[in-house]
């Protein structure tokens, strides 16, 4: 019995424990199954109240959420990005700049199996707020910003001071701006998507060397006082009053290293004073080279007096800041620009060329034009390096200037115009320039050849259209002497011989026979014609003690002298 009692005591508790484990284990399995099911359900869809950039995708499957985001965010992702560089507006294209949204990464981690109770709780009850995840192609973004940089850049510009008439004008300096491309990459990368306002991109400022304050001080302290009224110059006997406009015309500004210095041109001041008062005009007289007795002659120069230019600018600047606005000046001896000694060195002393051509004495009106033209050329001096223009030397070819209407050839037909015959003067001047070795600037031979001129070496003239000009390419001046006499037109050049000139003309070639033309013009002149047309080449060589120039060949083709019948062709 005793044993039996002992046995019951020992077996009782063991039987009770086994039942507890069976019940507890069953509950645990059920709980785990429910917990796992909840975790699986929570991980199969977006957590409740999940928003991406304000767009509700809660409780949606990942696929549905992805579709919603693409529909809502794609227009925002393709919108132009507004940027500011030192308040200068511009835009970037997201696609070109390599900017887009990664929708999968944006939703990553919001779904999927997870037994963490905190995660499960948040998925059922919490709120998720996410920003879209950007895809940045840095190479494309750098390239876009490099293209943008010059568009928003501002060039550093120094300010200026100048006078507009007698009014001082300040042009403000401009601070330069350049985009910091490397730093801008980070700003755009982090803030490009649906930015509420324009992105301010980093930039570098380049200040001008001279500040606006320095320029404004110079305007007030230097420029304005100079032109605040006239300034008187006096030597005690003569007085000249320089107007603000005259004073401004002599001024210039040197601006550098944040300093401004206004200076005055002393020679301009002297000229302005001389213009205002005859007592300050220079009494110096230049030497002159004139024709006297058919030869060049030098009329000597004379020294004179003029306002002393040394320190005149300082005197005027001091007067501009003085209430009296007056400066005491002195007179000094001065030489003319062309002194007797300089005139002698110009070498106008020997005949270097003489050329002549016969003229039809029966045409008395034409002869009058020859006299008028040569008279205007007689004594003209062409300085070294200067270009002689026949059209300029003859002046306006009008009856008021002493010219007459006479025969000319226009477009291959004989007609009449004021100045007829001056082409012979043009031929004269072309030939003396040719034979002296001067550079041919412009000339045009006649359309038909006149036997009184050397073929290929002659020139016509038509005011406003055809000029004859050559350049004096020697270190000596040259004087022109021209006259009509002995049945010929003569031209002589006085200078010092510099070039040795050679001339060679080819045989006439490309011979063309004359034909018949009809001229319906009212002022038509019939012509019998008969002379052949041809081409010719003229070669000139030039050498001096210092150099030999390349040979030059000029070719010209003359039209035949056709028979001209007035009227229209039947």
Torsion angle in degrees (nearest 10) through CA of 521, 525, 530, 534:
-60
Radius of gyration of the chain (CA): 50
- Taking 90 as the threshold, does the pLDDT of residue 418 lie above it? no
pLDDT band at 281; cut points 50, 70, 90: confident
**pLDDT score recorded for residue 332:** 92
- Taking 50 as the threshold, does the pLDDT of residue 7 lie above it? no
- Taking 80 as the threshold, does the pLDDT of residue 536 lie above it? yes
- Taking 80 as the threshold, does the pLDDT of residue 88 lie above it? yes
32-54 tens-digit pLDDT: 444 444 444 444 578 888 899 99
Q: If you write DSSP's letter for every residue of 35-59 in order, what string do you get?
A: HHHHHHHHHTSPPTTEEETTEE-TT
**pLDDT score recorded for residue 1:** 34
Share of the chain above pLDDT 70, in %: 88
**pLDDT score recorded for residue 119:** 53
What would you measure as the largest C-alpha separation in the chain, in angstroms? 187
CA 400: distance to chain centroid? 43
286-345 tens-digit pLDDT: 999 999 999 999 999 999 999 999 999 999 999 999 999 999 999 999 899 999 999 999
pLDDT band at 61; cut points 50, 70, 90: very high
- Taking 70 as the threshold, does the pLDDT of residue 154 lie above it? yes
For the segment 445-470, the average pLDDT, to the nearest whole number, is 94
β-strand 81-85 against 199-200: which pairing, if any? Answer: parallel
377 closest CA partner among 462, 492, 546, 248: 492
pLDDT band at 139; cut points 50, 70, 90: very high
Name the burial class of residue 46, with classes exposed (0-12), middle (13-18) and buried (19+) by CB atoms within 10 angstroms of its CB: buried
Q: How far is it, in rounded angstroms, from Cα 563 to Cα 514? A: 7
Q: If you write DSSP's letter for every residue of 69-132 in order, what string do you get?
A: HHHHHHHHHTSPEEEEETTEEEEE-TTTTTEEE-HHHHHTTSSS----HHHHHHHHH--EEEPP
172-225 tens-digit pLDDT: 999 999 999 999 999 999 999 999 999 999 999 999 999 999 999 999 999 999
Q: How far is it, in rounded angstroms, from Cα 417 to Cα 82? A: 72
**533 Cβ neighbours under 8 A, 6+ residues apart:** 448, 511, 512, 513, 514, 557, 558, 559, 560, 561
Q: What are 470's two structure tokens?
A: 């050559």
CA distances from 37 to 41, 43, 96 (A): 6, 10, 47
Ramachandran area for residue 68 (φ above 0: left; ψ -120 to 50: alpha; else beta): alpha
Q: How far is it, in rounded angstroms, from Cα 497 to Cα 348? A: 10
- Find out whether 517 and 411 touch, Cβ atoms under 8 Å: no
Residue with tokens 């991109």: 201
pLDDT band at 19; cut points 50, 70, 90: low
pLDDT band at 11; cut points 50, 70, 90: very low
Dihedral angle sign, alpha carbons of residues 340, 345, 351, 355 = negative
Instruction: Look at the pTM and tell me if it is higher than 0.75.
Output: no
For the segment 155-169, the average pLDDT, to the nearest whole number, is 96
Dihedral angle sign, alpha carbons of residues 490, 495, 496, 502 = negative
For the segment 154-168, the average pLDDT, to the nearest whole number, is 96
Residue with tokens 């009014």: 167
**pLDDT score recorded for residue 128:** 78
Q: Which residues pair with 53 in a beta bridge?
A: none
Average pLDDT, the chain: 88
**pLDDT score recorded for residue 121:** 53
**pLDDT score recorded for residue 26:** 47
**pLDDT score recorded for residue 519:** 86
Which range is least confidently modeled, 51-55, 245-249, 426-430?
Answer: 51-55
- Taking 60 as the threshold, does the pLDDT of residue 2 lie above it? no
């Amino acid at each position: 019995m005793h044993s039996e009692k002992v046995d019951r005591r020992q077996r009782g508790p063991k039987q009770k424990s086994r039942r507890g484990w069976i019940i507890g284990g069953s509950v645990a399995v059920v709980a785990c199954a429910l917990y796992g099911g909840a975790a699986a359900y929570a991980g199969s869809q977006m957590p409740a109240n999940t928003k991406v950039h304000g767009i509700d995708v809660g409780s949606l499957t990942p696929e549905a959420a992805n579709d919603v985001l693409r529909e809502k965010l794609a227009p925002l992702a393709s919108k132009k990005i507004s940027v500011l560089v030192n308040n200068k507006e511009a835009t970037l294209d997201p696609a070109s700049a390599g900017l887009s949204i990664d929708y999968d990464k944006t939703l990553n981690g919001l779904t999927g199996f997870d037994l963490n109770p905190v995660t499960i709780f948040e998925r059922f009850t919490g709120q998720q707020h996410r920003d879209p995840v950007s895809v940045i192609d840095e190479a494309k973004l750098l390239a876009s910003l490099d293209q943008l940089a010059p568009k928003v850049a501002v060039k550093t510009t120094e300010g200026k001071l100048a006078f507009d008439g007698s009014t001082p004008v300040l042009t403000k300096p401009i601070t330069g701006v350049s985009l910091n491309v490397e730093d801008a990459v980070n700003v755009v990368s982090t803030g490009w998507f649906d930015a509420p306002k324009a992105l301010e991109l980093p930039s570098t400022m380049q200040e001008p060397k001279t500040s606006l304050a320095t320029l404004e001080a110079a305007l007030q302290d230097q420029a304005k006082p100079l032109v605040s009224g006239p300034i008187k110059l006096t030597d005690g006997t003569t007085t000249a009053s320089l107007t603000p406009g005259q004073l401004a015309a002599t001024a210039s500004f040197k601006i550098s290293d944040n300093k401004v210095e206004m200076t005055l041109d002393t020679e301009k001041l002297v000229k302005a004073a001389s213009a205002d008062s005859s007592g300050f005009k220079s009494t110096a007289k230049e030497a002159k080279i004139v024709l006297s007795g058919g030869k060049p002659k030098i009329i000597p120069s004379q020294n004179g007096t003029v306002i002393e230019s040394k320190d005149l600018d300082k005197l005027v600047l001091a007067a501009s800041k003085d209430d009296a606005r007056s400066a005491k000046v002195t007179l000094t001896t001065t030489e003319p620009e062309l002194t007797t000694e300089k005139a002698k060195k110009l070498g106008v002393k020997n005949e270097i060329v003489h050329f002549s051509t016969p003229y039809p004495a029966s045409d008395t009106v034409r002869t009058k034009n020859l006299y008028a033209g040569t008279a205007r050329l007689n004594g003209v001096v062409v300085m070294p390096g200067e270009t002689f223009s026949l059209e300029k030397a003859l002046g306006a070819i009008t009856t008021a200037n002493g010219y007459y209407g006479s025969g000319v050839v226009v477009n291959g037909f004989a007609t009449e115009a004021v100045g007829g015959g001056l082409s012979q003067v043009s031929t004269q001047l072309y030939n003396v320039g040719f034979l002296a070795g001067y550079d041919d600037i412009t000339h045009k031979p006649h359309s038909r050849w006149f036997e009184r001129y050397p073929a290929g070496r002659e020139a016509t003239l038509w005011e406003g259209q055809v000029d004859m000009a050559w350049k004096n390419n020697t270190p000596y001046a040259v004087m022109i002497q021209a006259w009509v006499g002995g049945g010929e037109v003569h031209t002589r050049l006085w200078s010092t011989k510099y070039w040795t000139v050679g001339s060679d003309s080819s045989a006439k070639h490309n011979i063309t026979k004359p034909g018949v033309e009809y001229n319906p013009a009212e002022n038509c002149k019939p012509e019998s014609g008969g002379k052949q047309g041809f081409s010719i080449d003229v070669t000139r060589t030039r050498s001096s003690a210092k150099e030999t120039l390349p040979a030059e060949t000029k070719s010209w083709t003359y039209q035949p002298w056709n028979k001209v019948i007035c009227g229209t062709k039947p």
